[in-house]
């Protein structure tokens, strides 16, 4: 008598676990300040390993999707499970004119053996405000 063991659920579970390994990046707030627009990002490391640094180039697009500005944002060191809020000032930029913040590319990915492309694939962008954040 032959015994057949199905590995289907095990493989599916492993795939599901890989899909939950992500770096959540939330556009948390945008506030008009005297010098321009101050944007706040909430990073949450859910990669299952420490991030030494991830740097991303983002494009600031207006309501008509015309590029207005570029910004380099960086996570700094984040242990697994760590959350951090970072603020960046966009000089002479009106918050009301921003329609989308687009993550153009990952320029630095210092996370174990991950490449910049792997880091980009692991990003899970979202926005808590009316300005969109996306890839």
Residue 68, pLDDT score = 93
The string of pLDDT tens digits covering residues 38-92 is: 999 999 999 999 999 999 999 999 999 999 999 999 999 999 999 999 999 999 9
Residue 66, pLDDT score = 96
CATH number of 8-134, picked from 1.10.4100, 2.60.40, 2.130.10, 3.30.379 = 2.60.40
Q: Which helix (H) or strand (E) holds 38?
A: strand 36-46
Q: Is the pLDDT of residue 8 over 80?
A: no
- Give me the mean pLDDT over the 99-106 stretch: 98
Residue 6, pLDDT score = 42
The string of pLDDT tens digits covering residues 13-31 is: 444 445 579 999 999 999 9
Residue 20, pLDDT score = 76
Q: Chain centroid to CA 42: how far?
A: 9
Cα–Cα distance, 100 to 47 (Å, whole number)? 26
Residue-range domain boundaries for the chain: 8-134
């Amino acid at each position: 008598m032959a015994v057949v063991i199905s590995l289907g659920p095990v493989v599916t579970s492993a795939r599901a676990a890989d899909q939950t390994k992500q770096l959540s990046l939330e556009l948390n707030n945008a506030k008009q300040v005297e010098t321009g627009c101050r944007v706040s990002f909430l990073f949450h490391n859910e990669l299952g390993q420490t991030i030494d640094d991830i740097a991303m180039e983002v494009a600031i697009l207006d309501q008509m999707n015309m590029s207005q500005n570029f910004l380099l944002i960086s996570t700094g060191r984040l242990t697994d499970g760590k959350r951090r809020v970072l603020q960046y000032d966009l000089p002479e930029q009106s918050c009301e004119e921003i329609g989308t913040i687009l993550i153009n590319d990952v320029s630095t990915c210092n996370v174990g053996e991950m490449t910049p492309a792997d880091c980009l694939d692991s990003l899970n962008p979202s926005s808590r405000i009316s300005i969109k954040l996306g890839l």
